[in-house]
A and B are shown apart, each in its own frame.
Chain A
């Protein structure tokens, strides 16, 4: 048993096993939704091959010296920015978004890699010796580093991935120890931005709330003034961003408000997804027996809407177990983040947790109607090579952090 103990000490099954199970659930769902599909019937095998590749990458990432992440952080970030720019120029457009780059016969999404680059760079910046997250300079720099790729991604436009980045930034500065006021500075523009989406009255109301909050914090006039200006700018900027969104994404945001308004248009997926999951009932309709899935009511169900397959064919039990595996994974990652003695690695871990978490909540949320339909995949479950590789790469980092948790830097 001593060997076992040693292995557990070096390798965290608490994160590996749930991911493996999620991948298997994903395989089953991909098989079910593509087996009768005229063009996607090979996706099960492709995903299996990607899985093997991703597993290799996981073990590579797991076993490299933990310091190498720190070294590659800035180059990785810069390269991923270049790729994000490249994709805007020569990218392949799929479903209204220019988010794919072709390398030979394999396509990948640079935004997936930009997640890693951004997390590593932010972690490096925030964990440097003289970092002070309370300083205006640090906050602004963090936001610039974090939001620059967001801007590029919004140009594709890929709203879902942009939301993931925002989650990552918030989680990392929170973990770093930002104060309530600092959080307010970061969050209030977002609050104003969302409010402005609903119209002028909401925008003015939000600005008034921001002013009241500023008065309560009793900071100096220059500070408060800058923040006020920032908020005002955020409101106007949002209006601009909404306009540059592709019509199908605008529709998706609108259809979230009222999916029944256009049951065969933008709200179609939202309704069909809900019907699929709801009709699964307690135990599901059975593997390969979900009529919504088998009849392809939802386009490309093996990608962003894969959770519907699980909900329909495996019912509440299947959907619940899937969520439970994610919960175990997340709690375990959070544990590792606090176990690590290395501030950089701890921040990276929390950043990755945020990626997984936002993906899960937005993905599952949109299929069950608590989030707008903004397409991002379900980690480890959805079909897609670059998403799986990047997720396993990040999991490898966390496993590495666990392995080296007792090391001090």
Chain B
């Protein structure tokens, strides 16, 4: 570079600098616009085209007769967009909404980790008066709006709290696990059918695409809405529940604690299932559900606890059917075998019977619920055989009912006692087990399955509440498949046991008071001793005797005799189910009306998230 002013070399150097800079710029442009085009284009699309989620309508629940038992009803939800909102408005909004001061701050604080441009739901189910107030004052309420959302409605007059379950805003913990589908603020089934069938019910989210400017303000529809993906309503579930039977059961239990489960023995379809005390599902439709939940948690009666599947109690005398079956099948007795009841049984100590029954065989022992007979019987059967038969009937294991949480219960065996007491464990323990007391724990749904197996001669299906669903893509009904259970009972044996059950109601048995002229009911009462208070009343039964269509298990807690308290409830439910076909025409009419209503529910608009 020794050459001087304006030399050719200097010109070349400048030329090279210019050319190299151009090469660099063109190379970079090529890299961005040709090689990385796709990536930038995606970014650009997501940048300026905002997808607004369209929450689909949740599937509704129909009972076995097509009656809508869980529906969607529109409700107004007040929302705040934190970016545009002025917290000075808290006071007035809280007054209008009728909530405690600090309510809005709390919700906004809980949502602080999400984009401040994303609307936060403040209160669901605001009334129309509040909506008109919002409408009138909208110009003074920046960042405050309301939307119409769907919430659950229960139009049929049955509650089914534990069975249906509730939906709730997804928790942050769950959101972390399930972030593929859900976004903050989404509702998700939290228990019962709502939870178990969430994937059917939730449908497919839709998206409306809108153009936004750099401040994320909407300025119009993208491609005039032609690119929008409509939401797809969730599948409607067809339940095996009979709303009438359920209603009768619920009404009967208003004063009591306990549970009922009714099953169609041939199919395993649950006709009714209730747990009491129950709670009002309607109250979960609001953002305040947390406080409501807290109050339920605090309740000593544990209303959230699903007693039908979770509570474990001794089965009492209802267990005698299992023992009779075991003994007859094993051949340790025949119908000719009798035991003498002189008011009790002595094995190390004296075990009482409820009466002095004299000499009786297995049929009459069931009829009269003679404890002495069954004290003797369990020693004939042997603990481990007894255990095996209990398991055969589904005890000490989950029934597999399709609504989630369920207790296994407990049945002891030799190994269990050897573990506790050693090889010389006191055999006198067995006597109580013989009458379903002591360390025997079963759930109401296990009892219902047990009586179904007896009613249908040892064959049934896994108990289930949902029969099938209406696929909303095709509009077709799709039945769900459940496992068949066949415990291989000797038909002669089951006839004998059923004869005993027949006499319980129709002979001079313990439940003679529920005898009915119209329906032949068969059953077995039970009274489970309870060290903490009054006895639990139990009844299991089925009807009609010749062709069982309904099997029922009823457990009323801390009340007294099974015959007095549980059996009448079972009778009402059986009647509700078997005697209603009298007014078939009415039913048909109802069905059509509901169908119409359902269609309206389905058509309802899709609403912005």
Contacts and interface: CB of A to CB of B under 8 A. Distances in A.
Interface residues of A, number: 49
Given A278-B37, A295-B48, A295-B219, A331 B5 contact: no
A278 B18 contact: no
Contact of B25 (A274, A315, A364): A364
Interface in B6-54: 6-8, 10-11, 13-15, 18-19, 21-22, 24-26, 28-30, 32-34, 36-37, 39-41, 43-45, 47-49
Interface string A283-324: 000000001100111110000000000010001100110010
B2 interface: yes
Most buried by A among B28, B36, B45: B28
A10 to B, nearest CB: 22
Given A272-B214, A276-B44, A177 B3 contact: yes
Given A278-B39, A282-B34, A365-B25, A327 B47 contact: no
Contact of A279 (B2, B3, B34, B37): B37
B47 A177 contact: no
B212 interface: yes
B14 A171 contact: yes
A275 B3 CA distance: 46
Nearest to B37: A281
A282 B33 contact: yes
A279 B43 contact: yes
Contacts of A292: 44, 47-48
Contact of B5 (A275, A334, A343, A368): A343
Q: Which label, helix, strand, loop or mixed, suits the secondary structure of the A interface?
A: helix
Interface string B197-218: 0000000000000011110000
A224 B348 CA distance: 117
B11 A279 contact: no
A322 to B, nearest CB: 10
B488 interface: no
A176 B213 contact: no
A343 B6 contact: yes
B4 interface: yes
Given A275-B40, A368-B28, A295 B213 contact: yes
B594 to A, nearest CB: 48
A219 to B, nearest CB: 16
A316 B213 contact: no
B1 interface: yes
Nearest to B220: A295
B189 to A, nearest CB: 36
Contact of B18 (A315, A327, A337, A365): A327
A360 B47 CA distance: 28
A275 B33 contact: no
Contacts of A274: 32, 40
A369 B401 CA distance: 61
Given A179-B2, A275-B43, A292-B44, A320 B7 contact: no
B13 to A, nearest CB: 7
A316 B47 contact: no
A346 B37 contact: no
Nearest to A353: B14
B9 to A, nearest CB: 10
A216 to B, nearest CB: 16
B226 to A, nearest CB: 16
A272 B48 CA distance: 11
A59 interface: no
Given A175-B6, A295-B219, A323 B25 contact: yes
B21 A361 contact: yes
A327 B32 contact: no
A336 to B, nearest CB: 11
A280 B3 contact: no
Contact of A297 (B32, B36, B47): B47
A320 B30 CA distance: 9
Contacts of B49: 291
Contact of B4 (A177, A296, A350, A353): A177
Contact of B36 (A278, A291, A361): A278
B214 A295 contact: yes
A357 interface: yes
Contacts of B10: 174-175, 177
Contacts, number: 129
B46 to A, nearest CB: 10
Given A175-B6, A278-B41, A291 B22 contact: no
A370 interface: yes
Interface string A367-408: 011100000000000000000000000000000000000000
A52 to B, nearest CB: 30
A338 interface: yes
Contacts of B211: 291, 295
B18 A331 contact: yes
A297 B41 contact: no
A175 B4 CA distance: 8
A297 B214 contact: yes
B452 to A, nearest CB: 62
B33 A177 contact: no
Nearest to B212: A295
Contacts of B40: 274-275, 277-279
Nearest to B15: A334
Nearest to A317: B33
B453 to A, nearest CB: 64
Contact of B13 (A174, A331, A361): A174
Interface string B578-596: 0000000000000000000
B29 A277 contact: yes
Nearest to A319: B29
B24 A357 contact: no
B2 A277 contact: no
Given A282-B34, A292-B48, A316-B33, A370 B28 contact: yes
A361 B6 contact: no
A289 to B, nearest CB: 12
A315 B32 CA distance: 10
B1 A179 contact: yes
B6 A346 contact: yes
Given A275-B44, A297-B48, A281 B33 contact: yes
A330 interface: yes
A244 interface: no
Contact of A296 (B3, B13, B26, B213): B213
Interface in A337-365: 337-338, 343, 346, 350, 353, 357, 361, 364-365
Contacts of A299: 214
Contacts of B14: 171, 174-175, 334, 350, 353
Contacts of A370: 24-25, 28
B34 A316 contact: yes
Most buried by B among A278, A338, A346, A350: A278
Contacts of B2: 179
B171 to A, nearest CB: 29
B214 A296 contact: yes
A357 B19 CA distance: 11
A270 to B, nearest CB: 13
A263 to B, nearest CB: 11
Interface string A241-285: 000000000000000000000000000000010111111111000
List 4 A-B pairs, minimum CB-CB distance, nearest first. A278-B40, A279-B44, A177-B4, A278-B32
Interface of A: 171, 174-177, 179-180, 183, 272, 274-282, 291-292, 295-299, 311, 315-316, 319-320, 323, 326-327, 330-331, 334, 337-338, 343, 346, 350, 353, 357, 361, 364-365, 368-370
Given A343-B5, A361-B21, 13 more contacts: A177-B4, A180-B1, A183-B1, A278-B33, A279-B41, A281-B34, A292-B48, A295-B211, A295-B214, A323-B26, A327-B22, A331-B18, A368-B25
27 contacts: A171-B14, A177-B3, A183-B1, A275-B44, A275-B47, A278-B33, A278-B36, A278-B37, A279-B43, A291-B47, A291-B48, A292-B48, A295-B211, A297-B47, A297-B48, A298-B214, A311-B29, A315-B33, A316-B29, A323-B26, A327-B19, A331-B15, A334-B11, A334-B18, A338-B11, A353-B14, A368-B28
